[in-house]
């Protein structure tokens, strides 16, 4: 069986990757278990419900990581200004 190695930078990214893998596993299971003629409808239901949640979680993670990075930059600049002012006196 093939394997996949994935690198991630944060625990939030790891969790999101695991959720994406679980989503595709669920989609395969739904497709395999659906009666003839109902596969598309069954998979669409999964995509609409769980796919929407996956996308919402991905967007939330991206926005939070950006906010965290912006906060860290602001704090770093503020420390730099304080340190620069004290060193110049």
Predicted pLDDT at 83: 67
In a domain, 72, yes or no: no
Predicted pLDDT at 15: 92
pLDDT along the chain (89 residues), means of 10: 91 91 96 97 95 93 91 86 60
Predicted pLDDT at 86: 53
CA 38 to chain centre: 30
What residue spans of 34-51 are helical by DSSP H?
39-46
Q: What is the pTM of this model?
A: 0.70
In a domain, 1, yes or no: no
Predicted pLDDT at 76: 85
In a domain, 24, yes or no: yes
Nearest Cα to Cα of residue 19 among 44, 55, 46:
55
In a domain, 29, yes or no: yes
In a domain, 57, yes or no: yes
In the chain, the number of structural domains is 1
Sequence-ordered list of residues with C-beta below 8 angstroms from that of 33, at least 6 positions apart, any chain: 42
Domain containing 33 equals 9-65
The terminus-to-terminus CA distance of the chain in angstroms comes to 66
Count CA within 13 A, CB hemisphere, residue 41: 5
């Amino acid at each position: 069986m093939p394997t996949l190695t994935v690198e991630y930078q944060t625990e939030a990214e790891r969790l999101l990757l695991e959720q994406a893998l679980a989503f595709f596993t669920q989609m395969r299971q739904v497709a395999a278990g659906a009666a003839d003629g109902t596969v598309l409808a069954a998979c669409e239901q999964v995509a609409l419900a769980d796919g929407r949640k996956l996308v919402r979680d991905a967007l939330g993670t991206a926005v939070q990581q950006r906010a965290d990075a912006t906060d860290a930059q602001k704090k770093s600049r503020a420390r730099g200004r304080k340190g620069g002012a004290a060193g110049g006196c």
